[in-house]
Structures are given as C-alpha cells and as structure tokens.
C-alpha cells in the first residue's frame, strides 16, 4: 500500500505546482493524467475489483453485436439499455473484454475532463480529490453509476441557468446508463428557492430531528413504496442485511457531510466570487446530505442517492485554497492533502 501513498503524494504535489500555471498548462497535464488513469482502469485486476469480472463475463457471453442485438435482449448483470449499447457497439468490432473496459473508461474520462474543464476552478486539485474520494468505487467497480454521475454533473450549468428541460434531458439520458441518476432531478428545484444560510441550517437541523424521531415511520413507508412500485426492493428488504440495513444516525458520514455543508455555507463570503455555480454546489450538497440523513436506516439506498451530488465536495473544497492567503494557503494545502490520504486509506481498506 506504500506505493499508492507515494504516487498520491507525488501527484498531489504536481497538481498544486501546476495549478499555479496558466489554464492551458493545467489542461495539458489534465489530459495526460486522465490518459494514464484510463489505462489503469482498463488493466485493473478483475480478481481484486468486485463487479469487474461480472461486466467482462456479461460482455463476452451475453452481449450481442449490432447485427444481432434487439432492444428486448436479456441483459446479464444489469438492466440499463444505454450501457448495454456500449457493449453492443464494441462487440461489433471485437470480443476482447479489455477493449470493452477501455472504451467504458475512455468515455468516462472524456466526461470527467469536460466536467473539470467547465466547472473546476482548480481542475487538477479537483481530479486528485475525486480520484481519492470516488475514483476507485466508480471507475474500478460501479462503472455504470460512475458514467451516469459524470453525465449528471455535466448538467450543472443547466441548474445554475434554470434550464429545466435541458437538465431533465441530461438526467433522463444518464438514467439509461444507471437508473439512480433520476434521484438527482429534485436537486434542480432547490435553486428555485432563495435559500439563505439560516435556511440551510434549519433544513439540516430538521432532517436530523426527523431521522431521529421518525426512523421507524420512514423505514416503513419507504419499504412499502419499494414493494408497491417494485423498485429497489433489494435495498429496502430488511432481510437482505448486507444491502438494506444501514447504521442510522451512527453513520459517521452524516456528521462528515453536515460539517462540510456548514463549511461551504458559512464560507460563502470567501468562495462565492470564484465560481458562478456556488449556489448550485451548495444546494446540491444540501440535497445529498438531507437524503443521506433521512434514509440513513438503509445502507445502499442512502449511499446511492447521496453520492451523486456529494461529488460536488471535490469541486468546492479547492475553492478554500483559492481564497487563502499567506500561511492560510499552506494550511489549506495540508488539509486537502490529508483529505486525499484519508479517503485513499478508507477506499483501499474496503
């Protein structure tokens, strides 16, 4: 594991140094980093990263090519037709599973590049945080969700500009790659409300109270909804303890996200002028945190729903680096480095 820490440290140092150069230099290094990352994802050990062998098997034995496929084909391992079409197109030219993994990784990295170029004030630092926090789970394991989430993040400008139909089109399209993308739709409407700092605090406080007092009520009605709609039943059936039973209010992620939300909210004066998307970032992270708290009785359901706009933390944390001056900048760099190290440790030990 020491190798991973050494590589992370070197990459972080490079990101901090190059972030002081012009935008063009940053983009050039960003492309290089994403190309290397794509190759690492492509040639990952299928015996180490769960789900990878399943995707390779599904592609090799259960995916047809463009000449033979039908939209009624039975898909092994997942149900989203958009993701299946990637395999169909690749299968038309080759049966090599590594080529398939490369194509999926390349599409994801192109989307990640676009998101970083468009929304990140410090794209290299955001990439470093993203790789440590979300990279392993999304691009080495949950590759459908990783692809869909990057598509949703790409629609951030439509939330900021109040372009509902364009954002709706992005979310619906993303749902063809992973159905959980639809959870991000309500986040749009928070931007229609003029939320102030006190409103964010009140909403957060009420969410904690509701989850504490009405945990049984929430669990009962979410489970009933799941049965009636035949959706996400494996995530709400309390007999399936591995996927369904969460840690409730004992989940440390609730405190973690609440703390970051308050940091972003009360740090508005320092970071808001750096990006036109501040309100979208804050409201999206509020939505993620409230979802995580209210559904904390459910393991996967709370995590899958909150993780979409929780991605925003990688975009807003480096803004505090940009706002820092003198010794504060050194402290902010150390804090961001520790953030990356801690998340790398957590994800490598899963």
Q: Which of 181, 204, 221 is the last residue of a domain?
A: 181
- What is the C-alpha to C-alpha distance for residues 19 and 216, in angstroms, rounded to an integer? 48
pLDDT band for 296, please (50, 70, 90 cuts).
confident
Q: How many domains does the chain have?
A: 2
In 3D, which of 71, 66, 61, 68 has the Cα closest to residue 95?
61
Domain that holds residue 172: 1-181
Whether residues 140 and 264 share a domain: the answer is no
pLDDT band for 266, please (50, 70, 90 cuts).
very high
In 3D, which of 123, 102, 118, 121 has the Cα closest to residue 151?
118
CA 94 to chain centre: 30
- Residue 334: inside a domain: no
Whether residues 264 and 154 share a domain: the answer is no
pTM: 0.93
Whether residues 190 and 291 share a domain: the answer is yes
Whether residues 129 and 203 share a domain: the answer is no
Whether residues 154 and 195 share a domain: the answer is no
Residue partners of 45: CB distance under 8 A and separation at least 6:
none
In 3D, which of 350, 349, 342 has the Cα closest to residue 8?
342
Question: Among 11-15, 98-102, 153-157, 246-250, whose mean pLDDT is lowest?
Answer: 246-250
Query: What does the pLDDT read at residue 248?
Result: 78
- Residue 210: inside a domain: yes
């Amino acid at each position: 594991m020491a190798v991973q820490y050494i590589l992370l440290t070197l990459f972080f140092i490079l990101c901090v140094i190059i972030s002081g150069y012009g935008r063009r230099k940053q983009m050039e290094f960003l492309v290089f980093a994403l190309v290397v990352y794509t190759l690492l994802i492509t040639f990952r050990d299928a015996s180490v990263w769960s789900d990878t062998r399943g995707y390779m098997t599904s592609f090799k034995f259960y995916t047809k090519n463009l000449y033979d496929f039908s939209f009624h084909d039975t898909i092994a391992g997942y149900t989203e037709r958009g993701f299946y079409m990637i395999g169909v197109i690749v299968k038309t030219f080759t049966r090599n599973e590594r080529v398939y993994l490369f194509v999926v990784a390349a599409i994801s990295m192109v989307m990640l590049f676009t998101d970083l170029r468009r929304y990140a004030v410090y794209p290299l630092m955001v990439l470093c945080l993203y790789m440590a926090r979300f990279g392993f789970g999304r691009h080495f394991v949950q590759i459908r969700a990783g692809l869909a989430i990057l598509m949703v993040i790409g629609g951030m400008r439509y939330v900021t500009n109040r372009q509902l139909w364009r954002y709706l089109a992005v979310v619906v399209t993303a749902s063809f790659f992973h159905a959980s993308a639809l959870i991000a739709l309500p986040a749009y409407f928070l931007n229609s409300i003029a939320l102030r700092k006190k409103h964010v605090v009140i909403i957060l406080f009420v969410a904690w109270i509701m989850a504490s007092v009405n945990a049984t009520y929430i669990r009962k009605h979410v489970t009933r909804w799941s049965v009636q709609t035949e959706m996400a039943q494996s995530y709400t059936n309390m007999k399936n303890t591995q996927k369904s039973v969460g840690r409730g209010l004992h989940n440390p992620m609730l405190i973690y996200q609440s703390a970051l939300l308050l940091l972003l909210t009360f740090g508005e004066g320092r970071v808001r002028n750096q990006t036109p998307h501040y309100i979208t970032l804050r409201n999206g992270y509020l939505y993620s945190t409230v979802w995580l708290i209210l559904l904390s009785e459910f393991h996967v359901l709370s995590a899958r729903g909150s993780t979409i706009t929780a991605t925003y933390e990688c975009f807003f944390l480096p803004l505090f680096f940009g706002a820092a001056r003198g010794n504060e900048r050194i402290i902010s760099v150390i804090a961001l480095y520790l953030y990356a190290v801690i998340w790398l440790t957590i994800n490598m030990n899963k």
